[in-house]
Amino acid sequence: MTDQLKNRHYRALFLSDLHLGTRGCQADFVLDFLKHNDAETIYLVGDIVDGWRLKKGWYWPQQHNDVVQKLLRKARKGTRIVYTPGNHDEFLRSYLGSHFGGIEVVDYTIHQAADDRRYLVIHGDYFDVVVRHARWLALVGDWAYTLALDLNTVSNYVRRRLGLQYWSLSAWAKAKVKNAVNYIGDYERILASEARRHRVDGVICGHIHHAAIRNIDGIEYINSGDWVESCTAIAEHHDGTFELIRWTMLKDQVPVPSRSQHKAAA
């Protein structure tokens, strides 16, 4: 095992968009990540379970159950786990304020970092115009996206057989399509505005499967990405700095991107 993959303990971890219950979910990577990384608090930032897919057809292999059991085991051992549901697991919004096996379910929450900066933690689908006002279009998009993920699974099976590293077809396509790039930019600005409305220093979200740490007009925008395309998570170190972890890159022994160092507000 390389030094990069040795067990690490953080102040907080943020994971979103696992989409358990779908064939595109990279549950093996999730389990490997949870094995080697721990934290005082783990935030599950929505779309952890894909209720949309499960309604259409049951798919729940053992590895997906293992992910749930791994999280519950961490909760039993003292890790605080906070779950903010998204649009794909919106059924859990009927249980806000409840605890399941030690996992808290909340609509959103405020995370206070070690440097006392405050962050709105929310999935982010409330601020997606398509999801909120054209659900039928969102469902069509979900179908097309699932098809892309199926192609992605086949592509990466071949790549692994050839000894090549993980590569996301769907993430590549989004980066190349101008409308998708504009959509991501609009979403980021809206979430930054919502953080400003809450009078906090930043926002930590998911939903659009595009991991990022960037400053938008004085607001720290942090997106934890997903575990169907990029296999990413956000970690807060004990000094209050945040790091974007790309787990498949670490597994392939590619250097991890430099962490984002917070600066005191001017």
Residue 261 has pLDDT above 60, yes or no: no
Q: Over pLDDT 90: what percentage of the chain?
A: 64
Segment 4-40, tens digit of pLDDT? 567 899 999 999 999 999 998 999 999 999 999 999 9
Name the band, by pLDDT with cuts 50, 70 and 90, for residue 266: very low
Segment 30-87, tens digit of pLDDT? 999 999 999 999 999 999 999 988 998 999 999 999 999 999 999 999 999 999 999 9
- Dihedral (Cα; 183, 25, 254, 13), 10-degree rounding: 80
CA distances from 166 to 68, 124, 171, 190, 250 (A): 24, 27, 12, 31, 11
pTM of this prediction?
Answer: 0.78
Count of C-beta atoms within a 10 Å radius of residue 100: 13
> What angle in degrees, to the nearest 10, is found between the helix axes of 135-161 and 169-176?
120
For the chain, which residues make up each domain, given as ranges?
Answer: 9-251
Separation of alpha carbons 114 and 112, rounded Å: 7
What is the pLDDT at residue 145? Answer: 55
Segment 119-164, tens digit of pLDDT? 999 999 988 754 443 343 344 445 555 655 566 666 666 666 776 6
Segment 92-101, tens digit of pLDDT? 999 999 999 9
> What angle in degrees, to the nearest 10, is found between the helix axes of 178-197 and 169-176?
90
CA 188 to chain centroid, in Å, comes to: 15
Domain 9-251 adopts which CATH fold?
Answer: Purple Acid Phosphatase; chain A, domain 2 (3.60.21)
Segment 184-242, tens digit of pLDDT? 888 999 999 999 999 999 999 999 999 999 999 999 999 999 999 889 999 999 999 99
Structure tokens at 244: 């974007």
